[in-house]
Structure 1
Amino acid sequence: MNIENGSDATREIEKEEHEELKEETEDPRRLQPWNKQITFRGIVASILIGSIFSVIAMKLNLTTGVTPHLNVSAALLAFISIRTWTKLLQKIGIATVPFTKQENTMIQTCIVACYGIAVGGGFGSYLLGMNKRTFEQSGGLNIIGNTASSIKEPGIGWMTGFLFLVCFIGLFVLIPLRKILIIDYKLTFPSGMATAVLINGFHGSGDKMAKKLLNNFLKTSSFSFLWGFFQWFYTGKDECGFAQFPTFGLQAWRQTFYFDFSLTYVGTGMICSHIVNISLLLGAVLSYGMMWPLITRLKGDWFPADIPESSMKSLNGYKVFVSIALLLGDGLYNFVKILRITMVNLHSKLKTRSLNSVGRVDEDADLCSLKQDEMFIREKIPLWVGGLGYLVLAIISVIAIPFIFPELKWYYVIAAYVFAPSLAFCNAYGAGLTDINMSYNYGKVGLFIIAALAGKEHGVIAGLAACGLCKSIINVSCILMQDLKTGHLTLTSPRAMFLSQAIGTALGCILSPLSFLLFYKAFDIGNPDGEFKAPYAIIYRNLAIIGVQGFSALPQHCLQLCYGFFAFAIVVNFVKDLSPERIGKWMPLPTAMAVPFLIGGYFAIDMCIGSLVVFVWEKMDSNKAEKMMIPAVASGLICGEGIWILPASILSLAKVTPPICMKFLPS
């Protein structure tokens, strides 16, 4: 799951940047051609930073499933790394090519495409939902649809091949429509615009700002790395170390309420908006603080007392299906809402275009915007590239995917590719208006339909595979449009952006399975009582089971709770839209609330501390320059601990055990 975020700094530097952009666009010949905007040093930086971000995103996926947008962090690290490299070379007397905002945009695009595969590739959801452990957690052979053939263990070969097939085709879906989405309809793509504004701000702030950004990043990343190294010495056994520190007492610790000293989640909380973090905490209090202790007392009444808690017919079933109800309620409401906005806006745009064709001229058109449009159109990507690329890859997929998943018949794949372009357009249009990428909801629709059609014997695996196919195509195409919006505002060639996205996607399809298997071999992935709970794996498998057998999969009285929380999610969204200023801004986000229902409240406390840091920082110093430091500090906290994961994984694979177990017991 991706949690949306924004940056206050973007609004404050837009006006200052406008004059600089206007001067630059007055002479388009000053800009480098597209093949010069992609550099060897940029590709090297993309590989290095993309690898780190893939590991970070994979950890977030496999622990809580909450992954914020890291676009701003990617742009920031690209800026810091290349600016530092050029300064070092200049000091030793080696001339370098100037570092431009176009090269910065290219690196950011490549990094985002790379780690985007780790986020959207299904390693913590539909792919992991196929393995034996998730099969057993969902009830094993006792559950209809859970057959002996509905298991597929992770493997580097088939995962890499599947990702190349379903992700690369997403690059070609919307190429013919890029001008319509970005120029004709003038969609904002808020995350892409925010990234562009910050990139323009980085390159217009001078060396003083660059040094300050670098110093803050290096300090926080070094501290985060060393803190991770220090904590390792105290984790000799399970439930040991600072990650299990009973901050609020042992009783609260047993209900997952404690600060686990994870700087990754503190940094993530600094990037996410305050309402996201408060929603997470509210969900934790409502579930682990109130509901689950009360339902536990009903053991023997609501559910059998002699079955393990991890069973779907026990407490775990309530956790999983109530989480699903919140996710589906929120997703369905936003799906319908964005579809309505899309249709209304499309109708309005078509009417406007018909009026303009009669001779109406928009006299308020901004010169700067016209120059940006000129840059965007001048180096166009031929339409035949999109059409031919989509057709060839679709034919290869129809042949190859049934070999990877025999349960997913070739005619299901053809049906998915027939409907994918229209769904991708609707999703990209909605994301351009609202900044909400609904690809995961389209994936769930594909999951339910194919699971039901494939039947009880093959429905679970076929549904999960279909979910990945639909979600990947729609997600990658949306990310490309968002990055093309960034390139549009930074005057970067669409050809350079497309090639950067392709390079990043290829890197992601290789690096993401490798980083996943590193975690899978080194840590206890999918253990509901461990650190790497991978909560969405069990959710997606149970969605497939519901698609196969209906609501009979739910434990006693769970359906009534699901109805209540499904309605709650819809009502909350309705109130937010009905009164966005007075009441709506205080309403929680149901999707964010759903995560701690399944895994607990410890990470919500970490992220709220990140929010508190940002709140205090902004109160103490509201200077816009200082606000630009927040992403640098947050990125340092996330990256430092993320880098430590690599040596920690190697030590675990080498069976090197920490020397100390720090544990707390009642007196």
Structure 2
Amino acid sequence: MDNQQDRASWRGQLTLRGVIIGCIGCVIITASSAYTALKLGALPWPIVFAAIVSLFFLKLVSKGKTSLNEANVTHTIMSAGAMVAGGLAFTIPGAWMLGLGDQVSFGEVLIVALAGTGLGLVATAIIHRHFIIDTDLEFPMGASAAETLRATEAGGKTGKRLFTSMGIAGVYAVLRDAFGVLPQMLAQLAIPGVTFGIYNSPMMICVGFLVGGVAVIWWFAGAVLANFGIIVGGSAAGLWTADAAQGIVKSLGMGLMMGSGLAVVLKDILPQVASIARGVKSDASSQDGTQSLVTGSVRTDAGTFAVILAAIVLLICMGLGLGPIEAIVVVLLTFVTTAMSAQSCGQTGIDPMEIFGLIVLLIVAAFSDVQQVQLFFIAGIVAVACGLAGDVMNDFKAGHILGTNARAQWIGQAIGGILGAIVAAAVMMTLYQAYGADAFGPGKAFVSAQASVVATMVSGIPSVSAFVIGLVAGIALYWAGLPAMMLGLGVYLPFYMSFTASLGALLAWIMKRVRASKNASLPEAERAAKEADAQEAGLVVASGMLGGESIVGVIIALISVVAGLAA
């Protein structure tokens, strides 16, 4: 494909009507996401919801003359701002909780949002090929969006499976979240220091179902090690208190994930620098949209990225008061953490963006005497970048499945991300001005759970030795070909999340064994066909469950925003 054909391809998918529809949806979803993240301490992925809404309105305005690729690019724009809002909501309110509200202005929050968005966009353009093409990770939310678009377009058996499962999960979520008929947790046990139970969430079960296999085994192993080895076992042995054990666990988990992220960059990303440099030297243009996502020329892309990064460093220094060394360190570490975010989203569908913000915050605090409020700005930049990276990579996965031009998606993500940064910053500061600092924190009107954790960690890493052990172990495990990121997630996340995901993986294993036993006597060709149909059905139903709960989460958020403004 030459450059003229390539331009025609992506411009046919990134349309004016798609941009307009995407931007309107982006404003609404970003505002609702900011409110939800602050109010509920959680943020459902809006990708599937945005995909359905995009296809519906495109068909409406074009009288049915649209394509799945145009809808995919449109929903990329629409969903981009949600995770930018999450990155801000999961970090910045921590400064308000510590009484630093008078040191946080709209301009500074906007700079944090724009800097994180810019870093996320540059990083994902660079790592796109590795995570989407070379490693072909699952990215369950992106795959769910692709399956939803296909089913919406095609209908038939696939459509019935998908929308039936979406409806069941949606009704379930309404009964649980809107009416309180169903509990949030099942089978809870009072174990000191351990949140034991089953998260009553079809989405979490389906994440484990889709990921399955060895990855979930390591995930669950990390949870068992942290909760029953370090917290329960260590406390019972008198090595430390339960509170101290939780600090050790958090530090170890962050170290494992940081080590895994560093290893990804050192082992998988840096070796590609040579090929990228050769492309820059020859001014090679991308033939398949996987090497140059911005301009079509690797050399021009490299120059564009250099200018963007220099501008971000300058913006951080002048707008947030950080020194040039600190700003450069933040930028460099953000590239590491976006790779970690991509790895996590690709394997689990979970993007612990505030964890990555905490990691960089603590590293900068270890060598630089920056002000407390600046630490929150650092965490916000990283969290926004990682949140956007998770959304971008899921969108890229959907595009890879559907054959969407990656450049069109990246440009769409840039439009939605920048618009989302402005909207998210405005909503955050509006809520702060309306309700005051006393409305944010555990037990308050806006629980801001993640930001509360950031606030408590600003004083430093609870256990430096555990963090260092995790860092070294994360690098070594990944280099040995073992899923260190999954182990780290299991160590860091609450036990109930890991346990619930493992139940989903166990369900997938049982169903596979039952099918194998049932079809054992069939001829090989017929057995293979039935297995393929069953796998497709499982993917579609699980995707529907993911989509149903996430769609209802966004709708409930929209209702909450309207109700909150009315009050």
Same fold (TM over 0.5): yes
Q: Which residue of 2 aligns with 1:590?
A: 487
Q: Partner residue of 1:508?
A: 420
Contact 1:376 1:491 in 2 (8 A): no
SS in 2 for 1:98: coil
Please report how far the alpha carbon of residue 473 of structure 1 lies from its aligned counterpart in structure 2 after TM superposition.
Answer: 5.6
In the alignment, structure 1 residue 163 sits paired with structure 2 residue 113: yes
Superposed, which structure 2 residues align to 1:143-162 within 5 Å?
Answer: 158-162=108-112
Given the alignment of the two structures, is residue 38 of structure 1 paired with residue 38 of structure 2, yes or no?
A: no
> Quick one: which amino acid aligns to residue 89 of structure 2?
F
| CA apart distance, 1:128 | 3.6
Residue aligned with 1:326, SS: helix
Counterpart of 2:519? none
Corresponding position: 1:634 with 2:561: no
The match for 1:466 among 352, 356, 378 is 378
Equivalent of 2:536 in 592, 604, 625 = 625
Q: CA deviation at 1:227?
A: 3.6
* Range with greater deviation from structure 2 (185-194 or 260-269): 185-194
Matches within 5 A, 1:367-406: 372=288, 380=296, 387=303, 391=307, 394-395=310-311, 398=314, 402-403=318-319, 405-406=320-321
CA contact (8 A) 2:34 2:428 kept: no
CA distance in 1, matches of 2:365, 2:57: 51
Contact 1:101 1:200 in 2 (8 A): no
| 1:256 equivalent in alignment to 2:206 | no
Q: Deviations over 1:7-36 (max 9, x none)?
A: xxxxxxxxxxxxxxxxx99x9699766066
Question: How far off is 1:159 after superposition?
Answer: 2.2
Contact kept? 1:113, 1:501, Cα under 8 Å? yes
Contact 1:172 1:386 in 2 (8 A): no
Closer/same/farther in 2, CA of residues 384 and 215 from structure 1, 3 Å limit: same
Q: 2:77 aligns with which of 104, 107, 110?
A: 110
Aligned to 1:329: 256
C-alpha displacement of 1:500: 1.0
SS in 2 for 1:589: helix
Conserved 8 A contact 2:51-2:71: yes
The aligned counterpart of 2:495 is: 601
* Secondary structure of 2:556's aligned partner: helix
Question: Quick one: which amino acid aligns to residue 229 of structure 1?
Answer: A
Aligned mates of 1:327, 1:461 — CA distance in 2: 22
Normalised by the size of structure 1, how large is the TM-score? 0.60
* Compared CA separation, residues 217 and 131, structure 1 to 2 (3 A): same
Give the Å deviation of 1:287: 5.1
Match of 2:90 in 1: 124
Structure 1 residue 635 displacement after superposition: 1.4
User: What amino acid sits opposite 1:37 in the alignment?
Assistant: L
Shift of 1:505: 0.3
Say which SS state the counterpart of residue 155 (structure 2) adopts.
Answer: helix
**Displacement of 1:327:** 1.4
In structure 2, how many angstroms separate the alpha carbons of the residues matched to 1:49 and 1:648?
Answer: 17
- For residue 307 of structure 1, what is the aligned residue in structure 2? none
Question: 1:539, 1:374 → 2: CA distance?
Answer: 36
What are the superposed Cα offsets for residues 236-261 of structure 1, whole Å, 9 maximum, x if unpaired?
xxxxx83466x356x45995323453
> What amino acid sits opposite 1:589 in the alignment?
M
Unaligned segments of structure 1, at least 5 residues:
1-23, 136-147, 233-240, 304-314, 358-369, 547-552, 656-667
Per-residue CA distance 1:599-622 (angstroms, 9 max, x = gap)? x53444444444455555666675
Give the secondary structure class of the aligned counterpart of 1:218: helix
Once the two structures are superposed, residues 254-295 of structure 1 have per-residue CA deviations (whole angstroms, 9 ceiling, x without a partner) of: 953234534554455555546666666555555555654677
Tell me how far apart the structure 2 counterparts of residues 454 and 58 of structure 1 sit (CA, whole Å).
33
Who is 1:567 aligned against? 469
Bigger mean CA deviation after superposition, 320-329 or 155-164: 155-164
1:230 equivalent in alignment to 2:179: yes
Greater Cα radius of gyration, structure 1 or 2? 1
CA RMSD of aligned residues (A): 5.8
User: Is 2:186 the partner of 1:220?
Assistant: no
Deviation at 1:103, TM superposition (A): 0.6
Contact 1:275 1:588 in 2 (8 A): no
Q: Which has the higher helix share?
A: 2
* Correspondence for 1:206 among 139, 151, 154: 154
In the alignment, is residue 447 of structure 1 matched against residue 346 of structure 2? no
Q: 3-state DSSP class of the match of 1:258?
A: strand
CA distance, structure 2, for counterparts of residue 296 and residue 374 of structure 1 = 50
Q: CA distance change for structure 1 residues 495 and 77 in 2, over 3 Å: closer, same or farther?
A: same
Question: 1:163: Cα distance to partner?
Answer: 0.8
Distance 1:296 1:529 in 2: 31
Matching residue's letter, 1:625: E
**What is the SS of the residue equivalent to 2:174?**
helix
Pairwise CA distance, 1:182: 4.6
Q: Distance in 1 between matches of 2:89 and 2:232?
A: 31
Deviates more, 1:610-619 or 1:159-168: 610-619
TM-score normalised to structure 2 length: 0.69
Quick check: 1:242 aligned with 2:157? no
Q: 1:509 offset after TM fit, Å?
A: 1.4
For residues 548-589 of structure 1, give each alpha carbon's deviation from its aligned partner in whole angstroms, at most 9, with x where no partner exists. xxxxx85xxx66xx54x75367557745754x6xxx58x893
Aligned-residue offset at 1:537: 4.6
Assess, with a 3 A threshold, how the Cα gap between structure 1 residues 465 and 611 changes in structure 2: closer, same or farther.
same
Offset of 1:438 from its aligned partner?
11
Aligned to 2:556: 644
Question: Separation in 1 of the partners of 2:397 and 2:535?
Answer: 24
The equivalent residue for 1:101 is 68
**Alpha-carbon distance between aligned partners in 2 of 1:155 and 1:199, rounded to the nearest angstrom:** 39
